[in-house]
């Protein structure tokens, strides 16, 4: 027997978590995203919203035109991360070879698990059932001899799908699928394939590597291998992060120094928490600033010591902000972003130096505090504890977060 790969894909993950946690949203179209005064985008859409044409990544204003009665809920990434850790704990009970692709998606290599847990179909069913019983969420499962086929299989019968591709059935499984199912085939490549008469994966396979390479270059060989169901890539249980960042687009351009630095502290806090959660330290801080005319500038600084501390990241980003604003003062700021790069392994808890000066509003020293704060946030949510300077920012964000149709005042669960 060959490899057995499972692809788990949670169904409308963000929206499903919101519907689970707020019964008034069940069965209703739900859009996850920040309104941001017309600049927000859709982070996720429930299956009730999708028939109206609502899709992730589209402007929120466009989504609400398509589905004006939808409930708009702000994303709660800390809550989604907690659920994602629950899911990963389930996966790890069946195999150590788990490769997360995102919070709601993962590959599992269960080849070595068959002796303990039975055939891959039994493992897949067990995982699917446990996800439902332990999180009250539904997942789509694809099982196949490799990652590409498992991913395609999980997509075919969403939501709540379960598709198995056997080694002997790979050719017939792929033959009738549209060329867009091949990895790397976007609108431009799909149009190119159709222009030469290739509409299905089976037709791509029949065209042969020589023809495809002559028409599409290097990608031609890759398309031919995938069309035959060949994908030797292993499931990689740990993928080293190259950078960890966060950015936000403001509903109204920010001009005041206090507003900008408050927003910057919020971003530094988010990045620092993610660094600590993944036990990494950043050697370099990168600041991104976008002005109202869409001019975007980037500044970076290498730190004397790598860090995962809120104050250290904030201090460096604040100095970079002052540099970035020299040529654009008075223009306002449309977007801010903070990224930690050149990551190195760390303990996950950052100690402050004995003589470190407090930042801005006399922030308390970390000195072990970061770990305690992270545990509180993990248990009670990201708004349970924060810097005093950020309280008003989060209150304002919360008031703006949910929009009801027909001009009603904001209220979660609307629609």
Give me the phi and psi of 15, to 5 degrees please.
-65, -35
Residues that are catalytic: 105
Q: Are 109 and 4 in contact (CB under 8 A)?
A: yes
Question: Does CATH place domain 171-227 in 1.10.3210.10?
Answer: no
- What is each CA distance from 393 to 153, 154, 231, 254, 387, in whole angstroms? 43, 40, 47, 13, 10
Which is it for strands 30-32 and 71-73: parallel, antiparallel or unpaired?
parallel
Break the chain into its structural domains and give their ranges: 1-165, 171-227, 243-384
Q: Which superfamily does CATH assign the domain made up of 243-384 to?
A: DNA polymerase, Y-family, little finger domain (3.30.1490.100)
Written as six digits, the tokens of 297 are 């500038």
- Alpha helices for 3-144 (secondary structure H): 13-21, 60-66, 77-92, 114-117, 120-135
What is the DSSP code (8-state) at residue 59? B
**CATH topology assigned to domain 1-165:** Alpha-Beta Plaits (3.30.70)
Per-residue pLDDT of the chain in tens (415 residues, 90 and over written 9)? 689 999 999 999 999 999 999 999 999 999 999 876 667 889 999 999 999 999 998 889 999 999 999 999 999 988 999 999 999 999 999 999 999 988 999 999 999 999 999 999 999 999 999 999 999 999 999 999 999 999 999 999 999 999 999 999 999 999 999 999 998 888 889 999 999 999 999 999 999 999 999 998 888 999 999 999 999 999 988 766 788 999 888 888 888 888 899 999 999 998 998 898 888 899 999 999 999 888 899 999 998 889 998 889 999 999 999 988 886 656 789 999 999 999 888 754 444 443 343 333 333 344 456 666 666 666 666 566 665 555 555 554 444 444 433 333 333 333 2
Closest C-alpha among 228, 232, 231 to residue 174: 228
**The domains spanning 171-227 and 243-384 adopt the same CATH topology:** no
Closest C-alpha among 314, 276, 391 to residue 383: 391
- What is each CA distance from 281 to 4, 107, 187, 386, in whole angstroms? 35, 26, 39, 21
* Residues shown for the chain: 415
Phi-psi map region of 163: left, alpha, beta (phi>0 left; psi -120 to 50 alpha) = beta
Give me the phi and psi of 389, to 5 degrees please.
-65, -25
Distance separating alpha carbons of residues 359 and 365, to the nearest angstrom: 9
Distance separating alpha carbons of residues 260 and 271, to the nearest angstrom: 17
Q: How many other CB atoms are found less than 10 A from the CB of residue 23?
A: 9
Written as six digits, the tokens of 93 are 């009970």
Owner of token pair 């995962």: 308
Phi-psi map region of 412: left, alpha, beta (phi>0 left; psi -120 to 50 alpha) = beta
Q: How many other CB atoms are found less than 10 A from the CB of residue 13?
A: 22
Edge-to-edge strand ranges of the sheet holding 162-164: 98-102, 105-109, 5-10, 139-144, 162-164
SS3 245: strand
Distance of alpha carbon 178 from its chain centroid, rounded?
A: 26
pTM: 0.68
Distance separating alpha carbons of residues 77 and 119, to the nearest angstrom: 35
């Amino acid at each position: 027997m060959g490899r057995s790969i499972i692809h788990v894909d949670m169904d409308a993950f963000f929206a499903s978590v919101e519907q689970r946690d707020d019964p008034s949203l069940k069965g209703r179209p739900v859009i996850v995203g920040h309104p941001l005064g017309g600049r927000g985008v859709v982070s996720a859409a429930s299956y009730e919203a999708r028939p109206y044409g609502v899709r992730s990544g589209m402007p929120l204003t466009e989504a609400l035109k398509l589905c004006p009665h939808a409930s708009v809920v702000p994303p709660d990434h800390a809550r989604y991360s907690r659920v994602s850790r629950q899911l990963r704990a389930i996966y790890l009970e069946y195999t150590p070879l788990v490769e997360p692709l995102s919070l709601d998606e993962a590959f599992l290599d269960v080849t070595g698990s068959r002796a303990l847990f039975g055939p891959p179909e039994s493992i897949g069913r067990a995982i699917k059932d446990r996800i439902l019983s332990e999180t009250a969420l539904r997942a789509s499962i694809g099982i196949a001899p490799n990652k590409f086929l498992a991913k395609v299989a999980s997509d075919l019968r969403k939501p709540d799908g379960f598709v198995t591709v056997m080694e002997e059935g790979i050719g017939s499984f792929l033959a009738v699928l549209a060329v867009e199912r091949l990895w790397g085939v976007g609108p431009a490549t799909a149009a190119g394939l159709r222009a030469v008469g290739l509409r299905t994966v089976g037709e791509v396979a029949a065209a042969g590597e020589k023809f495809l390479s002559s028409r599409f270059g290097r990608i031609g060989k890759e398309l031919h291998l995938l069309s035959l169901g060949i994908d030797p890539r292993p499931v990689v249980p740990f993928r080293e992060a190259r950078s960890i960042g966060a950015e936000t687009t403001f509903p109204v351009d920010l001009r005041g120094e206090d507003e900008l630095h408050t927003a910057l502290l919020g971003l530094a806090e988010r990045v620092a928490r993610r660094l600590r959660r993944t036990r990494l330290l950043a050697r370099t801080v990168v600041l991104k600033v976008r002005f109202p005319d869409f001019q975007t500038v980037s500044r970076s600084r290498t730190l004397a010591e790598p860090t995962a501390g809120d104050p250290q990241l904030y201090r460096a980003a604040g100095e970079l902000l002052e540099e970035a604003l020299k040529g654009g003062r008075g223009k306002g700021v449309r977007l801010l972003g903070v990224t930690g790069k050149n990551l190195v392994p760390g303990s996950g808890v950052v100690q402050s130096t004995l003589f470190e000066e407090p930042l801005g509003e006399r922030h308390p020293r970390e000195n072990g505090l970061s770990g305690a704060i992270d545990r509180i946030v993990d248990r009670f949510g990201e708004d349970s504890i924060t810097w005093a300077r950020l309280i008003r920012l989060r209150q304002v964000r919360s008031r703006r977060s949910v929009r009801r149709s027909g001009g009603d005042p904001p209220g979660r669960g609307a629609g």
